[in-house]
Amino acid sequence: MWKLAHFLKYSFSAAFTGIFCCIAPVILFQFGLISGIYAISFADFFYKEDGSIGIGAITLRFFAFLVIVIGIIKFNKKENCSLNSAKEKKINKVLFAIISTIIAIALFWTLDEFSSYYFDEYIVPQQQLEYNTSS
């Protein structure tokens, strides 16, 4: 159970770090803390004009990678049970790295799809409504 908590802790942390540019405006918009126009401009800060990822999004993904690496290093330091053989320890460390990375990537893609859907369905129409009423 302890190992599962580490998988989830570092995987979720990495995924949220990598997708912060899209999830933060979604959450703030859902709670009514920001408008549609501000949510779009917040997300646009991380992307280029053509919609491709910009330096901000690349930076977030780099930090997400660092979170996974830190998680693997911390797990490797704690995985020193004397009951396990050296081979079992190495297998555990490799499995932790692979599974944590797979969970983080899967969660990142899921949150990316969710945020894209949410932006298209709720935030963009609200942004257009706010823009039309302010003109």
Instruction: Give pLDDT tens digits for 64-81.
Output: 999 999 988 888 777 666
Taking the CA atoms of the chain, what radius of gyration do you get in angstroms? 19
Residue 9 makes CB contacts below 8 A (sequence gap 6+) with: 71
What was the pLDDT predicted at 84? 66
Which secondary-structure segment (H or E) carries 28?
helix 20-30
Q: For 85-101, what is each residue's pLDDT tens digit? A: 778 778 888 888 898 99
Instruction: Give the number of domains in the chain.
Output: 1
Record the pTM: 0.85
* Domain that includes residue 114, residue range: 2-134
